[in-house]
Amino acid sequence: MEAKDKAFLVKRTLNVRGRLVDLSQPQVMGIINATPDSFYSGSRVSDMEAIVERAGTMLQEGALFLDIGGYSTRPGAAEVSVAEEAERVLPAIEAFAKYFPEAILSIDTFRAEVARQALAAGAHIVNDVSGGDLEEAMWQVVADAQAVFCLMHMRGTPQNMAQKTEYTDVVKEVMEDLARKCQLAIRLGIHDFMIDPGIGFAKTVEQNYAILKNLAYFQGLKAPLLLGVSRKSLIWRPLSVSAEQALNGTTALHMHALQQGANILRVHDVKEAKECIELFKLLQD
């Protein structure tokens, strides 16, 4: 069955704390890094005024979701304590909930305790790069809060994932891992979740492109598909540029991802991603 023929089978709504979010048209998730260690310097914000300003700009440019993180997950990133991570993200979530009550807030963490506090502070989504693998308690935290869970594929930890890239069939193995996580979510009463194949996490450049070429395959899981390729090394390494020069390549891969069924683009550059979506929609009419 062709991707376009089975697309109608994919769940295209999320219940976000009683608010039904329609994903029949692709949406944008804006990245806000409350950390000095993000791989892309242009995404780093530290003081609260700058964080709130960045969030407001992203919402004005068309982001539906804001994803706030306080622990860099770039390859080889330094360890950060649970307390420090919480101190970085909780004030931002509280500020967003106050100033932007209509925004849908995502906490980017694999720590169950950080997620629990973030959900209590106003977050709606848990975006766990390990998809619940690094801390088993995460599953119950999400289930208890009836939050949306973003289930991503990753092997190992941010510190060692670059050494865990041996696959027999990367597309098949990532699909099987995400299928397992989807089934576990349903068993635990988590019915609103999305999947993310984890571009750049425990995968070589070649493996990342194998996944991108077969992205439509993941529609078989019948869950909304989130994709994060923004300014990552699979773009700037082949082009011999830097993350700061990788916006054009990011947009090219965004259009491909949309054509393959991506529902949410997780991005540093909201305006450009929204423009890409608008042109994609014209191609579908």
Catalytic (active-site) positions? 232, 266
Q: In terms of Cα–Cα distance, which of 56, 32, 59, 52 is closest to 44?
A: 32
Ramachandran category for residue 215: left, alpha or beta (phi over 0 → left; psi -120 to 50 → alpha): alpha
Tell me if 152 sits within 8 A of 108, measured CB to CB: no
Closest of 145, 107, 109 to residue 125, by C-alpha: 107
For 166, residues 6+ apart whose C-beta sits below 8 A from its C-beta are none
Sequence-separated (6 or more) residues with CB below 8 Å from residue 271: 61, 62
What CA–CA distance (Å, rounded) separates 12 from 273? 19
Single-letter amino acid, residue 269:
D
Say if CB 132 and CB 184 are below 8 A apart: yes
